[in-house]
Copies of this chain bind each other. A is one copy, B any other.
Amino acid sequence: MVVSLSLRLPSLTSLFSPVTTTTANSLRRRSPAFLRRSRSHRFQSQQLPPPPPPLLAARFSSAAETASEEQRVDSNAKSRVNPDRDRVITPRSQDFNAWYLDVIANAELADYGPVRGTMVIRPYGYAIWEAIQEYLNVRFKETGHSNMYFPQFIPYSFIEKEASHVEGFSPELALVTIGGGKELEEKLVVRPTSETMVNHMFTQWIHSYRDLPLMVNQWVNVTRWEHRTKPFVRTLEFLWQEGHTAHATPEEAEKEAMQMINVYTKFAYEQAAIPVIVGRKSRVETFAGASMTYTIEAMMGDRKALQAGTSHNLGQNFSRAFETQFTDENGQRQHVWQTSWAISTRFVGGIIMTHGDDAGLMLPPRVAPIQVVIIPIWKKDNDKVAVLDAASSVKEVLQTAGVKVKLDDTDQRTPGWKFNFWEMKGVPLRIEIGPRDVSSGSVVISRRDIPGKQGKVFGISMEPSSLEAYVKDKLDEIQSALLEQATSFRDSNIVDVNSYDELKVAISQGKWARGPWSASDEDELKVKEETGATLRCFPFEQPQGNKTCLMTGNPAEEVAIFAKSY
Starting from the known contacts A123-B216, A130-B147, A152-B237, 12 additional A-B residue pairs (CB-CB under 8 Å) come to A70-B185, A71-B185, A71-B188, A73-B155, A73-B157, A113-B197, A115-B151, A119-B151, A121-B149, A149-B239, A180-B227, A221-B221
The 3 A-B residue pairs with the shortest CB-CB distance, nearest first, are A180-B225, A123-B146, A71-B186
In the complex, residue of chain B having the shortest beta-carbon distance to the beta carbon of A156: B71
Residue of B nearest to A108 (CB): B205
Residues in chain B near residue A200, CB distance under 8 A = 73, 114
Contact B221 A81 (CB under 8 A): no
Q: Which of A94-134 contact B (CB under 8 A)?
A: 111, 113-115, 118-123, 125-127, 129-130
Q: Distance in Å from the Cβ of A40 to the closest Cβ of chain B?
A: 13
Interface pairs (18), CB distance under 8 Å: A70-B184, A71-B184, A78-B204, A114-B155, A121-B148, A121-B149, A123-B147, A126-B147, A127-B146, A153-B236, A153-B237, A175-B176, A175-B179, A176-B190, A177-B177, A180-B225, A181-B225, A221-B221
- Whether B71 contacts A150 by the Cβ 8 Å rule is no
Count of this chain's copies in the oligomeric assembly: 2
Q: How far is the CB of A195 from chain B (nearest CB, A)?
A: 14
Give a binary string over A470-490; 1 marks a CB under 8 Å from any B CB, 0 the rest. Answer: 000000000000000000000
| Least CB separation from A149: chain B residue | B121
The segment from A166-174, A441-449, A527-535 that touches chain B is A166-174
Interface residues of A in 193-216 (CB under 8 A from B): 197, 200-201, 203-205, 207, 210, 216
Q: Would you call A382 an interface residue if the criterion is a C-beta within 8 Å of the partner chain's C-beta atoms?
A: no
Query: Chain B residue with minimal CB distance to A239?
Result: B149
Asked whether any CB of chain B lies closer than 8 Å to the CB of A77, the reply is yes
Tell me if A178 counts as interface (CB < 8 A to partner B): yes
What distance in Å separates the Cβ of A75 from its nearest Cβ neighbour in chain B?
9
Q: Is A329 an interface residue (CB 8 A)?
A: no
> In the complex, which residues 376-418 of chain A have their Cβ closer than 8 Å to any Cβ of chain B?
412
Decide if A267 is an interface residue (CB 8 Å cutoff).
no
Q: Which residues of chain B are near A184, meaning CB under 8 Å?
A: 67, 70-71
A158 B73 Cβ-Cβ under 8 A? yes
Is the CB of A331 closer than 8 A to any CB of chain B? no
Is A30 located at the chain interface by the 8 A CB criterion? no
Give A77 to B237 CA distance when docked, in angstroms.
31
Q: Does A142 touch B at the CB level, under 8 Å?
A: no
Residues of A270-325 contacting chain B, CB below 8 A:
none
Known: A67-B185, A225-B179. A237 touches B171 (CB 8 A): no
Within 8 Å of chain B (Cβ to Cβ): is A183?
A: yes
A220 in contact (CB, < 8 A): yes
For A175, the chain B residues whose CB sits under 8 A away are 176-179
B182 touching A150 by the CB < 8 A rule? no
* Residues of B contacting A173 in the complex (Cβ-Cβ under 8 angstroms): 178-181
Bound complex: CA A457 to CA B75 (Å): 69
Instruction: Tell yes or no: A526 within 8 A of B by CB.
Output: no
Q: A187 on the interface (CB 8 Å rule)?
A: yes
Cβ–Cβ contact B174 & A176, under 8 A? yes
- Check if B72 sits within 8 Å of A153, measured CB to CB: no
Closest to A175 in B: B178
A83 within 8 A of B: yes
Closest to A224 in B: B180
A68 beta carbon closer than 8 Å to chain B: yes
Chain B residues, Cβ within 8 Å of A188: 71, 115, 174
User: A328 to chain B: closest CB distance in Å?
Assistant: 15
A77, B204: Cα distance in complex, Å: 7
* Minimum Cβ distance to chain B for residue A258 (Å): 23
Which of B153, B174, B178 has a CB less than 8 Å from the CB of A113? Answer: B153
Complex Cα gap A157–B115 (Å): 12
- Contacting pair B207 A83 (CB below 8 A): yes
CA distance A183 to B122 in the complex (A): 30
Q: Nearest B residue to A323 by beta-carbon distance?
A: B78
Q: A120-B149, A151-B113, A173-B180 are in contact. Are A185 and B68 (CB under 8 A)?
A: yes
C-alpha gap A214/B183 in the complex (Å) = 39
Closest to A71 in B: B186
CB-based contact B225/A113 at 8 Å:
no
Complex CA–CA separation, A237 to B182 (angstroms) = 17
The answer to whether A120 touches B186, judged by C-beta atoms less than 8 angstroms apart, is: no
A130: nearest residue on chain B (CB-CB)?
A: B147
Question: What is the bound-complex CA distance between A72 and B185, given in angstroms?
Answer: 9
In whole angstroms, how far apart are the Cα atoms of A200 and B175 in the complex? Answer: 24
User: Nearest chain B CB to A66's CB is how many angstroms away?
Assistant: 8
> Judging by beta carbons under 8 Å apart, are A114 and B158 in contact?
yes
CA distance A120 to B154 in the complex (A): 12
Of B113, B127, B201, which one neighbours A120 at CB under 8 angstroms? B201
Residues of B within 8 A of A129 (CB): 149
Please indicate the chain B residues that have their CB under 8 angstroms from the CB of A236 in the complex: 151, 153, 179
Report the Cα distance A121→B153, complex, angstroms. 14
Closest residue on chain B to residue A215 by CB atoms: B123
How far in angstroms is the closest Cβ of chain B from A484?
A: 32
B residues near A68, Cβ cutoff 8 Å: 185
User: Which residues of B lie under 8 Å from residue A146 when comparing CB positions?
Assistant: 123, 126-127
